[in-house]
Structure 1
Amino acid sequence: AKIASQPSNLQTPKDALRVRLTEVFLRLQEDLELHRDKLPRALDLAGFSTGESRDLIFPCFDEHFSYSSLDQEEFFKFVKEFTILDLKRQAELFEKFDADGSGRIDPDELADLLKSVGVCPLAHVVKGLVLEVGDGEMVTSLGPAEFQKVLKILRERDGFTLQEVHDLTALFERCDYDGNGRLDNREIGRVLHSLGYSPDHKFDEVLAETDFDHSGTLSKKDFMFFMRRIREREIAFIQKFFNVHDTDGRLGLSFEELEEMLMSLGHLPDRVAMQQTLAQLDLADLDRDFNFSEVWCFIELFRKQEGLPVEDMTEAEDAFQKYAGNPIASTDLMARVLRSLGYHVSFHDAQRAAAM
């Protein structure tokens, strides 16, 4: 086996790719060999593979290699051969969804294309991608090169918009309480709670998938991959509830169906809070049906705001700032905050609530 070299700071695109691949190889190798079974994970980490190309990985490997593992140079060769197949697949997909043969696809066709290969095309993500490819303008159609750029962005950012990446990065840094650049199990739980997930949300299995060095912690890069997996699972989960509660024969949920869905998810929805959350998303018309992307954005925001009306949130935030004054409050301070809001709680009540 060839000896893996440590990556250096090189500037050309070709050398930058080699550095990135070297980093991935060094993280996943055992005895300076990368096993065949780790290739999907390696390509994910390197920003090469999403749902639409995963089925190419093992046929590509089997065509070019006869052993079950690769040294570093062989891994580079594999990525080169995989890239050729991947670009061919992209061209075939583009041609398939270019219905009129014009050499261009519109944003709706892009969403259909992504959906056909297992990528959930949330409307706000597709819009963000199209705006970015169009240098800030909402272009009406995409050519093959622009489509390839869309896939490249999707892969590099793990399917998140640029704003979502910024928000998640800021959340990572805010929850990294010891400042060591990694999140432990407890800090990950706080991240998910900040995003509105239930304290009972189980993430051990996803953590095991994304904790590549088996340290029980996540680096910032691993954290983005972890959040991608969390979102993929949550989208599939919410989609099932969406389908169950879409009962009126129209594609989408009415306000009443949305309320029933929230109750099925374990929430006790306040109608005023629901209306205010929809208004924040420019979805104030309650006589229309909401598509899945709109419902997803609503649930994300509704959870982050704990299902509270705006005035209740403002009152709670003001009370917290008055008594705590920093992002982390002790249990006795939390008891004072709650009492200032009119709740009759003891220290032990606050302690139990803080532990949830």
Structure 2
Amino acid sequence: MRIAVLKFGGTSVANEMKRNHAVQRIGEALEEGYRVIVVVSAMGRKPEPYATDTLLSLVREVAPDLPLREQDMLMACGEIISTVVLTACLRRAGIQAVSLTGWQAGVITTEQFGDARIQRVDGERIRRALEQNRVAVIAGFQGTSENGEIATLGRGGSDTTAVAIGAALAAEVVDIFTDVKGVYTVDPHLVSDARVLPSVTYREVCQLAQEGAKVIHPRAVEIAMKNNQAVRVRSTDHPDKGTLICAPQHHAGDDAGCDRLITGIAHMAPITQIKVDTTQWPDPALTGQTVFQAMAEAAISVDFINVHPTAVIFTVADEITAKATQVLEELGLCPEVRQGCAKVAVVGIHMTGVPGVMAQIVLALNREKVPILQSADSYTTIWCLIPVRDLTVALNALHRQFCLS
């Protein structure tokens, strides 16, 4: 039995026209001979009535400290509504379908409410539906614990649901349908000649996603990589095959059949750079330990960390700048704070061991007079912190420098 899993995000089922496009994509998969599993997100985004954030707003004004267990019960409703509505659309089109909640579909999770992990998928009920020639329409983003507690999987959880179900049922492919045509070389809203990549490796797309390219959740990619599961990112509105996410040995390279040094560029903005002069602390060697312990105890996530003999530098999201600054000042430190920054990540698995990549980045940014405030690198990625006002100029300059158009 050839199985395909098709996941539709919130924007892909937000209105009647979008849902009709989704039905068309499902029909195409059936015509290709697949037994089809569909995973859906909640319809639309806030303030649309059934979006997850809209549902949460119903109780947050009443009880801002409502336990996560109760919030999960409410948040799970958005995907269930979406599941039933899309099932109705399929039946109207003459396609037999059955709607299933996450727990009816056998998705077993931990009890980490709001950010649960999938422990296993019991796919027996899904398989029975497929054997009866019915499309199984499953609510993403949710499951149940061994104790029967409803739990949600956190942001991007429907991607994770789709890939986990695909792996459990040995699906031939998992298609992630969204409002873009695939994985782009760079944000097409900021760079006019950005192009869709025909294929990208698990590691590259995971890095791009972690650095702000919102095409697929990194956790879903990790599951796909572990199970060698083929995944495609596609547009609901177009029949194009989109971008194939695969192992390096199946990576097609660029359109000319050769591998590019750089695959893509991602960014995160706005963020804040915080610099602490360690010489103002009685024992400079312990300053970093004290700073990061204080951040952890305040539940502040830090990123882009550089530790020097005389300074500790890191970034935080702009919206928690005040909280982070207060924590440091309470320690008796005087942090240097720079808001309005952007983190740019240049990603490519073939840069490892190749000299001159950083030189090209510096050349491209210097040419446009874009200052580099901070930098770091790994085997597959080079990061630069720049002023957010220069973000569009920087992305275009780097895209040209590495001939990604």
TM-score, normalization by structure 1: 0.29
Indicate the structure whose relative CO is greater, using CA pairs within 8 Å and at least 6 residues apart: 2
Give 1 or 2: higher helix fraction.
1
TM-score, normalization by structure 2: 0.27
